[in-house]
Structure 1
Amino acid sequence: MIELTEPQVWTLIGVFGSAIFAMNAMMSGWFVRVLRAEIGGLRAEIGGLRGEMNARFERVDAQFERVDVKLTHLDRDVQALAREVFPKRER
């Protein structure tokens, strides 16, 4: 049986420890690289969504402006009719 006092055992412990440390470093590097790529893709998706939302809000604003103009004209017409139907009376 091999005892822990032999140099080959300590060499193998060092080699395996270095291998585990190296694999841990490689996996950390790969994880960071993948994480950065995913965050970049997410930023692109959010940018596209922002553009789409702004376009839709602009269309809604344009529709509200058209409705506002129509209501202004309607208000003007109702006031004109009210002046015709209910003239001001002298007290």
Structure 2
Amino acid sequence: MNEPQVWTLIGVFAAGMFGMITIVTTMFTRVVRSEIHSLRVDLKGDIAELRGEIRNIDRDVSALMKHTFGIDRD
């Protein structure tokens, strides 16, 4: 364990492992951020669609109440 070549190999191996861990962590973080962004975009679209449906239902219920009971819900 006193040979300089052994210590050099240990240093090179440690540097390689540290570099590989850094690269994998960076790539993983980018993938997670990208997936979260696409999920947000999908959810925003779905929520907007749901709001439109709720407005239609509210309008229909108001029309039914006005027609049936003569009550304005505004």
Matches within 5 A, 1:54-65: 54-65=51-62
> Secondary structure of 1:48's partner?
helix
Matches within 5 A, 1:1-91: 4-73=1-70
Superposed CA offset, 1:40-74 (max 9, x none): 0010011011101001001100110110111124x
Q: Distance in 2 between matches of 1:45 and 1:72?
A: 40
Structure of larger gyration radius? 1
Q: What TM-score do the two structures reach when normalised by structure 1? A: 0.74
In structure 2, the gaps of 5 or more residues are none
Aligned residues: 71
Superposed CA offset, 1:10-49 (max 9, x none): 0000000000000000000000100100000010011011
Q: What TM-score do the two structures reach when normalised by structure 2? A: 0.91
Q: CA RMSD in A?
A: 1.3
> Secondary structure of 2:2's partner?
coil
